[in-house]
Amino acid sequence: MARVIFVTGSLPHGGAERHAIALMNRLAQRGHQCHAVCIKNSGDKLDCLRLHDGGSVRCLDAARYLDLRAVADFAALISAIGPSLVLAANPYALMYSSLARRRSGVRVPLVVTFHTNRLLSAKEWLQMLFYRPFFWSADCLVFVCAKQMRYWLRRGVFSRRNEMIYNGVDTEAFCDEWSSVERQALRRALGFSDTDYVIGISALLRPEKNHVQLVEAIAMLRKRGIPARALMIGDGQMRGAIAALACSLDVAGDVVITGLQRDVRPYVTACDCMALCSVTETFSLAAIEAMAMGKPVVHSDVGGAAEMIVPGRNGFLFPVGDTKAFADKLAILASRAVCKRMGQDAHATAATLFSETTMVDRYDRMLLEVCCGCRPNSA
């Protein structure tokens, strides 16, 4: 049994945080002792943790970007727990983990999972220059897709050991278990008829998720006579801009925003297909969840999208920002027969390659190998 401290910046809605929660819960089920550390806030996700006996949760309540008091508290926690390994999610958590490990004097292996594909601003690039030495000093760096791994290795972001482990989802939980009658009831409750072509998107309404492109595609499809409507599962800062654009394109009644949902599955069930039009994405959990539920995905060709989607088989790819190409691919899936066939292939792909069990098997093996290579003991 290993004792593992998982470190995240926070535990709100977000792919990296959901990934960390899934790993903690699954490894705890397998008998490992798991401890969760949040640097800034624990959000509303604590009730999702299932750490079993011996596990613990600590929020450091950092008051600023680099809070030396929080680093000292973390170092004391490392000394008290005596972990076999510390696993940090993304560079910010890695920085705190590295500094706390050094201050604690405990020689414990440090692993970091990296969920970023590309940096969008000069500020982010400057931060990465600062973070790189922390990556170099880690014992293992885990990328979440092959394209991301190639991109960052070429740019000097690496560790003593570099791994690629695909994100995975719980394919038993994410399955379409609703009957046709229940699905029709879900659609009616959302204001959709059985003849509507409902295109879903499950993502926070943030600029990089590019929801406005789906609004533009809906307008294009309706001009072609396709009864397309959008179901946006989530909420965020772009809600006002999305609503304004829908009004200006005369499709306000065809764009439904659900707000944040703890369980997205009923909403995905209500859709015919799912879309992601992000300008940047690494390896989308939302896309894998949709595929597991038998929904073909139309995805912008970013990050590792081409590693999960085989165009014409389980979904489609389109060039980033090309709304006409996006609408053209969505138009193909307006055929119920095509959509159903590709949805079946999508489910098979998710079950075979991107299940949570497969992901956790890889992490379990890797973490034990890292622990055996560098067992913790006091300096």
Q: Rounded to an integer, what distance in angstroms lies between the CA atom of residue 20 and that of residue 48?
A: 11
Distance CA 11, CA 60 (A): 12
**Residue range(s) of every CATH 3.40.50.2000 domain in the chain:** 3-168+356-378, 180-353
Whose structure tokens read 């510390």?
86
Q: Which pLDDT value is given to residue 121?
A: 81
Task: Please give the Cα distance from 75 to 315 (Å, whole number).
Answer: 47
**118-169 pLDDT, tens digit each:** 777 888 889 899 999 999 999 999 999 999 999 999 999 999 999 999 999 9
Closest among 273, 264, 258 to 205, alpha carbons compared: 258
Amino acid at 356: E
Contact assessment for residue 98 and residue 134, using Cβ atoms and an 8 Å cutoff: yes
Q: Which CATH superfamily is domain 3-168+356-378 in?
A: Glycogen Phosphorylase B; (3.40.50.2000)
pLDDT in the model for residue 44: 58
Query: What are the residue ranges in the chain where pLDDT is below 70?
Result: 11-14, 42-46, 374-379
Q: Whole-prediction pTM value?
A: 0.88
Q: How far apart are alpha carbons 354 and 228 in whole angstroms?
A: 29
Give pLDDT, residue 340: 96
CB 104 within 8 A of CB 76: yes
Q: Are 284 and 116 in contact (CB under 8 A)?
A: no
CA gap 73, 369 in Å, rounded: 28
Structure tokens at 8: 């995240």
Pick the CATH number of 180-353 from 3.40.640.10, 3.40.50.300, 3.80.10.10, 3.40.50.2000: 3.40.50.2000
At residue 103, the pLDDT reads 96
pLDDT at res. 1: 82
Looking at residue 45, its pLDDT comes to 58
Residue 217 φ/ψ, nearest 5 degrees: -65, -35
